[in-house]
Structure 1
């Protein structure tokens, strides 16, 4: 029996060995065939969130190439004229840069940094984005050469730039002049609007009429002409109750209703029956409807949303916030401004008794998630003046600092003016360009009214550069900081040179020498008077006082540009490596 089992095991073992040998031979044959075949070309695609690392000068080189290419594209828009030829769609720097995407990922990092800085400048200053591109590019390039070839330490270089920035801002603050007249606002708007006199005059009149506390709406002109209108209005820091009321999604979610009826309720709207009666009263008028109340609860809100969705009655609801027992006083302010009757149980007028004569109206009401703009309320001016007098009396008698501030806010809100600038133009492209110019002019005018004026055309920055050079030794503690201050001083001369060269199309060293010889810190080159003669091949080079000529900038815009440019330049210099996540 044992012999039989042993024979069986030996036979099985031999068969297994034979099979394994045949399998090994087949594997070898397959590998040999694979090696003989040509290898297919496979394009490697990085997996999700692959990180590509670059260090030192290689990383900085890639970022600077992206920044430089973007800056060279945008800097030709600096100044009042641009000899670039047709077609010309826009001359706004931030508009140009938004459409640029670099094909090389590392260089696109630099371009994206530039876009972020430009967006920040546009957000906080509203203008000066091209100058921030130019300064940021010059600071970054000069700082890079200082680190790579002059042996400067990046941290010391950054400290020098920061010290220079503080000196420049202090110099410009002492140089600034206050804005006191409409003509000075007009001069600011002329520069920001690329010397469009019609737009500059409209914006100057608008800002002179509404002031810093007023609000300006930009709308499409029904006549195709540019003009501005002054209307009554209120602005409340309270948005819609539900985003189901939204009618426009282009830029931000908002509900915009023209010539709506307005009902102001001093109580909570609790039941469907209450809102049903209101909707039945409104339905025959075929007009939209805005409800201001203490609190619109869920059931009546659902009914208003249902009517909206079915297109029966276009409506919106705003709850006025409770604030130190003045909620009903704020509702009364809205009622007086719109010509409505306050619906309140205390005044013996209930929701069930509301008729069409208890409604007010407005030219337009715009409600977003945070604010409500009531434009052109139909309230009687005499009643509005009486209401303002009541608030003044209450303010004089009130002792609580908190309640006094609330009364001041109500008074300023009631007195605030709202202007509408109608944008003309025959095509959508033309209207879009005019809208961009108006927005830039408005932002520059507001910034100048808040902070003051500086000589324009790059002159203020050029004079600040001279101040840095003269006080260079008193600013620094070591050689690295000295190089940082020197980099800042060199970069500040670039905007003046670029404005002149964009006009004359050649080197401007001889014009800079004339500006130096004038011994006037406000002296500069007026590009409007510098006419270039093609026949005689020369340019009329006139040196003028920039403030007297009306070529001015806003201190707040220049301040924001400088801070953003130094921030942009410092970031790549401070870091020795870069990484890119590829999706």
Structure 2
């Protein structure tokens, strides 16, 4: 389809309208007395939420310029959620205010680049001040109170999260999953477990029990399919030199790559196991990131500029 092009005031105001439409819908949820928003779903019952990023994701505008403006604010909320896990509504409100005042000053004749540098300097100064005012959360009661606020005032959820934090510690990984039963269940797992097994039975190290056990392996975590053996060769060479086994957790492992791993396992050249990554879509990305954090590794993903 043909591209629409706008310049100067027309472009800026179109973007601002889109930002304001999204931000006005999100900011009503701000604070402990914030209100809820009802989101229509294509399937199933409507969702009632006060989570800023969830509301932002559901907003779609018809006007192309307004749509771009809304998408820019969505990105602000998404990045805040990715980095901090909360504060998406506050970030949206701040973005709206900075854009509004920035456009007002540009319209009055201010240099846009000078404004940008001024905003960056103000962000650095405010961030430093906030860090100085921040209080570390140490006790279980403080964790429960904070979690309760994030859970929309639900003390049951807040207490459950505090209990989980108490058991796994600050560096532990907490995974929240929807249950098929009523109530909240807390399950502590030493290490990590997910519902995926080896791709080929040839990877089994104990043929009687049909299980694969690797001790102190190298772990390749990839959010992509592993099919081309050429992509794996540099890794395989390093692994073979070390004498350690290799565990591959990827979207899938097939083709030449799978054949090479199986042949080397049968010949006894080196041990390896390939398993499919758990989950689908965004859920899979999150679980791979959890595995990377737990093992001290890095997810190979084109989204972060890494590839095999």
Instruction: Give 3-state SS (helix, strand or coil) of 1:215's partner.
Output: coil
CA contact (8 A) 1:366 1:372 kept: no
Kindly report which structure 2 residues correspond to 1:166-565, keeping only aligned pairs within 5 A, or say none: 166-234=124-192, 256-257=195-196, 278=207, 281=208, 291-292=212-213, 322=239, 325=242, 327=244, 367-368=277-278
Instruction: Give 3-state SS (helix, strand or coil) of 2:3's partner.
Output: strand
In structure 2, what is the Cα distance between the partners aligned to 1:228 and 1:96?
28
CA contact (8 A) 1:66 1:108 kept: yes
Bigger drift between 226-235 and 179-188 goes to 226-235
In structure 2, what is the Cα distance between the partners aligned to 1:234 and 1:115?
33
C-alpha change, 1:176 and 1:276, in structure 2 (3 Å) is closer
Residue number in structure 1 paired with 2:87: 128
Residue number in structure 2 paired with 1:56: 8
Alignment equivalent of 1:106, drawn from 53, 59, 65? 65
C-alpha change, 1:89 and 1:323, in structure 2 (3 Å) is farther
Higher RCO structure, 1 or 2 (CA under 8 Å, sep 6+): 1
In structure 2, what is the Cα distance between the partners aligned to 1:166 and 1:323?
48
C-alpha change, 1:142 and 1:202, in structure 2 (3 Å) is same
| CA distances 1:244-270 after superposition (whole Å, capped 9, x unpaired) | xxxxxxxxxxx724xx8x9xxxxxx9x
Shift of 1:292: 4.1
Residue number in structure 1 paired with 2:19: 67
Unpaired runs of at least 5, structure 1: 1-47, 236-254, 263-268, 283-288, 296-318, 332-350, 352-364, 376-411, 414-583
In structure 2, what is the Cα distance between the partners aligned to 1:276 and 1:196?
47
C-alpha change, 1:222 and 1:55, in structure 2 (3 Å) is closer
Kindly report which structure 2 residues correspond to 1:561-580, keeping only aligned pairs within 5 A, or say none: none
Q: Considering only CA atoms, is the larger Rg found in Structure 1 or Structure 2?
A: 1
Residue number in structure 2 paired with 1:94: 53
Bigger drift between 170-179 and 80-89 goes to 80-89
What is the TM-score of this pair, normalised by structure 2? 0.63
Q: By percentage of residues, which structure has more strand?
A: 1
Shift of 1:366: 8.5
Shift of 1:290: 5.0
CA contact (8 A) 1:186 1:204 kept: yes
Unpaired runs of at least 5, structure 2: 39-45, 218-235, 248-265, 267-274, 279-283, 296-308
CA contact (8 A) 2:36 2:48 kept: no
C-alpha change, 1:52 and 1:225, in structure 2 (3 Å) is same
In structure 1, what is the Cα distance between the partners aligned to 2:240 and 2:126?
44
